[in-house]
């Protein structure tokens, strides 16, 4: 049988799945951690009353909604990392997308924590 040769740079990368897999695990764990921390932060103003409590409750609920909707960004980055062709020439793009997904969760978490009006 004749061996089929692919053009240069289009060889199949046998380890293309490693970056997206590690990124998926780290992103899911970081997302769960961010959601848990922000969710438990709602108890920070249990003893507050009056206008301070209303302002805190409104800001924490807005931050939680932004966090939940914002998870679409890292999820899209993961889909893009998994969806790239498994060729060696796409390894750099795949690694960049895989690295950006967990970093997007961290940036999203910091932004949501900054949105909250702490008592």
Q: Tell me how far apart the alpha carbons of residues 76 and 86 are, in angstroms, rounded to a whole number.
A: 18
Contact 67, 34 (CB under 8 A): yes
Q: Tell me how far apart the alpha carbons of residues 16 and 21 are, in angstroms, rounded to a whole number.
A: 9
What is the tens place of the pLDDT at every residue in 79-119?
999 999 889 888 999 999 999 999 999 999 999 999 999 87
Q: In sequence order, what are the beta bridge partners of 87?
A: 12
pTM: predicted TM-score of the whole model, two decimal places: 0.85
Domain locations in the chain as residue ranges = 49-119
What is the tens place of the pLDDT at every residue in 41-62?
988 887 878 888 888 889 999 9
């Amino acid at each position: 049988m004749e061996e089929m040769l692919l053009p240069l740079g289009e060889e199949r990368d046998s380890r293309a799945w490693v970056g997206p897999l590690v990124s998926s695990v780290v992103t899911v764990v970081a997302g769960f951690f961010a959601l848990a921390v922000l969710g438990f932060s709602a108890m920070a103003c249990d003893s507050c009353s009056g206008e301070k409590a209303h302002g805190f409750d409104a800001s924490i609920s807005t931050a939680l909604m932004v966090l939940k909707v914002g998870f679409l960004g890292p999820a899209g980055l993961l889909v893009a990392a998994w969806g790239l062709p498994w060729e060696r020439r796409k390894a750099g793009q795949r690694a960049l997308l895989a690295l950006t997904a967990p970093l997007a969760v961290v940036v999203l978490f910091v932004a949501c924590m900054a949105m909250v009006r702490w008592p």
